[in-house]
Amino acid sequence: MTYAVTAVSGQLGREIALTLARQVGPERVIGLARSPEKASGLGIAVRPGDYDQPDQLRSSLAGVDALVLVSGMAPPDERIGQHRNVIAAAKAAGVAKIVYTSIQGPEAGTPFSPIVQSNRQTEADIRASGLDWAIGRNGIYIEPDIAYLDSYRARGEIANSAGDGRCGYTTRSELACAYAALLIRAEMNGTIANLNGVPITQAELAQHLNATFGIDLSYRAMSPDAYVADRTAELGPFIGPIIGGIYDGIRQGAYDTPGDFEAVTGRPHQSWGDYFSHLAD
């Protein structure tokens, strides 16, 4: 079997490709990237993989048996068409199976919902493709909270609109293990899996950060409108409402799921105590 992963110049695609290479051997893994020169150092063959170039995709997928389609970053309407290009190219190239990196989230009622809806449309397109398939729905990455630590520290708090909602966070490395399993394990065909760790509240996240980094953050709940305004002021009118919509989804319970990680990988998701203790090392 020859496996391929799209978007290997990005963080999730790169993690998946590296995990696959460790498990099956680098000679059996092909990376696709819109700019292959930005995907150096993976130790695998990297081919052009621009979602807007159907002919290029067909050529680059030649000889591939199973593919991980990493969800694109374009606006929702564009993203659906781009993903359809990949699905059609995979069929034309003789790929037998597609695994898609989808997302959890509120399907209506928040500024993030159009992105969730676009992912659901790609899920439907893959299920209707006639190929074998498996779909993962990612929880929220926890890494951005670590990257944002200095800002939290400067404010002395975590403030957002999640309220008491519980969020099934995850990490890119854990997701990579899950997507490798969804790709390799034939018994996972036809699976839609929620991929996340044990859900925690924002107050619990603050406690983990405090214990790990010796700080004293509190959590303050904001209204959804106030948080969208806060994020828009810092991140702009496109990203700000999206981030606000994610946290409103947490408040609504859209990410409060026990998840299917162990069923997919054969082991529990890394615990948050373990994750944070490694950060402190």
Cβ 225 vs Cβ 92: under 8 Å: no
243 falls within a domain:
no
281 falls within a domain:
no
158 falls within a domain:
no
216 falls within a domain:
no
248 falls within a domain:
no
Task: Specify the CATH number for the domain of residue 77.
Answer: 3.40.50.720
Cβ 44 vs Cβ 75: under 8 Å: no
pLDDT in tens, 188-238: 999 999 999 999 999 999 999 999 999 999 999 999 999 999 999 999 999
13 falls within a domain:
yes
pLDDT of residue 92: 98
pLDDT of residue 281: 74
Instruction: State the residue for tokens 């990988």.
Output: 265
207 falls within a domain:
no
Instruction: State the residue for tokens 């700000």.
Output: 240
Q: 3-state class of 119 per DSSP?
A: helix
Q: How many domains does the chain have?
A: 1
Q: 120 lies in which domain range?
A: 3-139+171-196+258-270
Q: Dihedral through CA 116, CA 140, CA 13, CA 78, nearest 10?
A: 20
Whole-prediction pTM = 0.96
pLDDT of residue 175 exceeding 80, the answer is yes
Q: Dihedral through CA 167, CA 168, CA 172, CA 173, nearest 10?
A: 140
| Terminal CA-CA length for the chain | 38
Across 80-95, average pLDDT: 98
pLDDT in tens, 89-148: 999 999 999 999 999 999 999 999 999 999 999 999 999 999 999 999 999 999 999 999
119 falls within a domain:
yes
In one-letter notation, the amino acid at residue 88 is A
